[in-house]
A and B are shown apart, each in its own frame.
Chain A
């Protein structure tokens, strides 16, 4: 079976750094947010610190990957996403990537406002908490759909290989991404 490169190392690093940070913030955030979990876990001051520094770490790590990685390649990928036309990604994947990128900015902005607002009334707005909540619902919904398609749904879950090892089978790619102009054959399947 022949394989074709789907994701560069930089793209994969960006994805997994984003996923790790998001899941850590989701876990600590839910402990702060859901009363039952808050009671069960306790240690709210520690959870707040973990959530706050987790947010700083998440955004910093994404920035480090972008700066140290293949910036030119990422710029090409961004241009590819911009059109929303099917290419290496279908329209749903493009919308998912774009919304998640926007959510990183909004999560970070509203989270910092929550943190500063606890210390200075200048930064306190009644809608900050509402924005942070709604981002959770929307990003959570995207995550559930994303996990289903990438891990469970039989027709699409081969794509996980692309994000783990970088390549997918030529045959699968031809079937799912007819508009993808493939380069970088990797017959050894790496």
Chain B
């Protein structure tokens, strides 16, 4: 019997199989070839494919979704147009047009307190731009409508020593800063409409900052106060290690 005979005849591999199945019939063993382990292959391929996708996932996915023009076929998979909603407090602020005000404060000649109606009465600007999140997702062709900061400055008249702006959210303790130069880039705006509709609650109703050249965490939502300050400081995520100048593709470890 046979362990030695089996070993001699079929080699060590079969012996292992034999051992793992002591009740198996040796006679049958000698004739049956060792089954191919497709299952192990499937397991290893899935794990390896998943882990390496960290390197190839995004480029391949861009190609695939680009090829399916409009990517309508994928809409059910991507909730609400690809947006993810990030917030830092327990409750998203609620917008009440009767009590809501936008305050422009700090180093300005004219401190302003604008109602929602007054804000919407200011000269409006519109733009289509791409929104990039630092975690890797992107929403293309977002249609924004709102007010340029230049329009605010013309009314508030910042002092020359106001080199930066602090954007304060109603979602305490979220805030962030831009330098004066960054705030006056041509496609920076305070947006109150997105894709033809009033800004939704989860997108920061009624007002958010939009700066397409920077990652989304600079775009303060539920904006209700802008302070003109001597210099930029660290915003909510910058205090947690993110870059203050959050240029898309050139900050936060990218590029």
Contacts and interface: CB of A to CB of B under 8 A. Distances in A.
Contacts of B56: 127
Contacts of B201: 39
Contacts of A126: 58, 136, 254
B51 A109 contact: yes
A127 B58 contact: yes
A161 to B, nearest CB: 25
B73 interface: no
A38 B135 CA distance: 18
A121 B241 contact: yes
Nearest to A42: B91
B11 interface: no
Contacts of B137: 129-130
Interface residues of B, number: 44
B89 A81 contact: no
Given A95-B42, A127-B55, A102 B50 contact: yes
Given A39-B92, A42-B92, A76 B20 contact: yes
Contacts of A144: none
Contact of B202 (A39, A82, A106, A121): A39
B113 interface: no
A131 B202 contact: no
B151 interface: no
A84 B202 contact: no
B39 interface: yes
Interface in A110-136: 110, 113-114, 117-122, 124-131, 133-135
- Interface centre among B39, B53, B58, by most chain A C-beta atoms within 10 angstroms, is B39
Nearest to A43: B90
A50 to B, nearest CB: 13
Interface in B68-107: 77, 79-80, 83-92
B46 interface: yes
B20 A44 contact: no
B63 to A, nearest CB: 13
Contacts of A42: 87, 90-92
Contacts of B51: 106, 109
A184 to B, nearest CB: 12
A38 B85 contact: yes
Nearest to A99: B46
A127 B20 CA distance: 41
Nearest to A106: B50
Contact of A35 (B57, B83, B88): B83
B135 A98 contact: no
Interface in B180-234: 201-202
A46 interface: yes
Contact of A124 (B57, B84, B134): B134
Contacts of B36: 83
Interface in B29-52: 35-40, 42-43, 46-47, 50-51
Given A131-B54, A133-B77, 10 more contacts: A81-B39, A83-B36, A98-B42, A98-B46, A102-B47, A105-B50, A109-B51, A121-B252, A127-B53, A128-B136
7 contacts: A35-B202, A42-B90, A46-B90, A98-B46, A125-B55, A127-B53, A133-B77
